[in-house]
Amino acid sequence: MALMKACVALEADGPKLLAASIRNESVFSELIGLRAYAVTLRPEFLNALCTDPITDQAILAFASDTAQSLSLAP
């Protein structure tokens, strides 16, 4: 992580760092925390970051509740 931190620090006054093919949350979090300019992510990893089982359950419950209340409308 020290090397990553040094590379990100250098980009403030020079070329921008592109961290490529980030594969896990800890490295991604560290890069974001260090304010890295850009990263590339594998599609599977990006999808995993954009989904949450609890949120998915809440969305399904909301859709079900909405359908039920609409069926009761006159």
Tell me the pTM.
Answer: 0.52
The pLDDT of residue 1 is 67
Cα distances from 69 to residues 38, 56, 62, 63, in angstroms, run 45, 20, 10, 10
Mean pLDDT calculated for residue range 4-10: 72
* Segment 23-45, tens digit of pLDDT: 888 888 888 888 888 888 888 88
What whole-number distance in Å separates Cα of residue 41 and Cα of residue 20? 7
User: Confidence class of residue 60 from pLDDT cuts 50, 70 and 90?
Assistant: very high
Q: What is the mean pLDDT of residues 5-15?
A: 71
